Amino acid sequence: MQFIHRQRGQALAESIIGMSFVIIPLLLLLPFVSKITGVQHRANQAAQYAAWERTVWKEQAPSRMVTGKGIFLAKKTEQQLSAQLPWRFYQGKGQVIDSRPPKQWNWEQNVHPLLKHQTRHDGSLSGLIKDKGEGKNRLSFTEPSSKIPGTVNSLIGKALGVLAYTGFSLEQDQFYRTRVETDLVQMHLEPFDSMQLTYKGNSALLASGWNAAGPEHLRRRAERLVPTNYADVSWVRTAQKVASFIPFGKELHPNSLKLGHVETEVLPANRLCNYGSKGCGG
């Protein structure tokens, strides 16, 4: 004899159990996970941006820097670079990015909406990034510069050290490691209410050791590598003038034979224009 047992509602019960213990918790965690992923993404972006800025903005003036009217060196300290990170990577959409960071920048009011979450039981939204008591930044930013690691670079550094006795000096501490750290506030949702989450963004970049602020600075740095530059003194020029009176010695005149002369690279006309004027980005 065959007995048939009907179990009505079994599929519905399994669905309720699955939704209660799997699907619903995942749906609750999905918005939060996406937001903390955005925090990590912005930390990486900020670290890469800070490293790449050192290819343009120098931390200190190079050797044999010229001074005078019209001479400009793109220089930015670590503090100035750090102050630009919040409003470049953490503010809301549609905000104009300016080269000068705003002095009055409120983190809670200007932070991107995706970086806000319900962190309290009252249902109000607040920023995910914890206030470290460091003003508007709320970021830990470090950018140490050091020499390039490796045996080959050590040998090159020794060779440049020998050339330094001639007055030719290059910056050898242009290997930058940047790190941006952000701490998240504690949530009321387990297990995040007892976790101290910190997200770090790291980057490294070798900025150019050779930099020149204009043709005159280039000439002053390169002339030290020209051996005949040390013969460009008054009594040698006088001897050249005397020797120029000898037949076939006209080319020895200082106006013809320029000892230690360095000719800088000729730039195209569009590289010498004032940016923003007509025909030059205007």
Query: Is 155 within a domain?
Result: no
Question: Higher confidence at residue 81 or residue 167?
Answer: 81
Regarding whether 204 and 85 lie in a shared domain, the answer is yes
Q: Are 175 and 142 in contact (CB under 8 A)?
A: no
Question: Average pLDDT of 89-98?
Answer: 76
Confidence of residue 128 (pLDDT cuts 50, 70, 90): confident
**In this predicted structure, what is the pLDDT of residue 269?**
62
268 neighbors 238 (Cβ within 8 angstroms): no
Say if residue 241 is in the same domain as residue 113: no
**Does residue 178 sit in the same domain as residue 42?**
yes
Is the predicted pLDDT of residue 48 greater than 90, yes or no? yes
Same domain membership, residue 201 and residue 231: no
Residues 100 and 176 in one domain: yes
Could you tell me the pLDDT band of residue 113, with boundaries at 50, 70 and 90? confident
Mean pLDDT of 177-195: 79
Tokens of 184: 């998240």
Does the residue 74 lie in any domain? yes
For residue 126, tell me if it sits in a domain: yes
Same domain, 187 and 261: no
Rounded-to-integer distance, Cα 213 and Cα 210, Å: 10
Instruction: Tell me whether residue 220 is in a domain.
Output: no
Say whether both 82 and 190 belong to one domain.
yes
Q: Do the beta carbons of residue 81 and residue 90 sit within 8 Å?
A: no
Strand, helix or coil for residue 82: helix
Longest dimension (CA), the chain: 136
Residue 196 located in a structural domain: yes
DSSP category for residue 179: E
Residue 249, domain extent? 226-271
Whether 27 and 189 have beta carbons less than 8 Å apart is answered as no
Give the position of tokens 């820097």.
65
Residues 180 and 264 in one domain: no
Residue 156 lies in a domain: no
Question: Is there a single domain that holds both residue 184 and residue 64?
Answer: yes
Given this model, what pLDDT does residue 122 score?
Answer: 67
Say yes or no: 47 and 19 in one domain.
yes
Domain count, the chain: 2
- Cβ neighbours for 58, distance < 8 A, ≥ 6 positions apart: 73, 74, 75, 76, 211
Q: Which has the minimum average pLDDT: 94-108, 194-208, 221-235?
A: 94-108
Please check whether residues 23 and 137 belong to one and the same domain: yes
In a domain, 178, yes or no: yes
Contact 146, 66 (CB under 8 A): no
Q: Nearest Cα to 181, choosing from 167, 165, 196?
A: 196
Task: Tell whether 185 is covered by a domain.
Answer: yes
* 176 and 106 assigned to the same domain: yes
pLDDT value at residue 47: 92
| Cβ neighbours of residue 175 closer than 8 Å, sequence gap 6 or more | 145, 146, 147, 148, 149, 204, 205, 206, 207
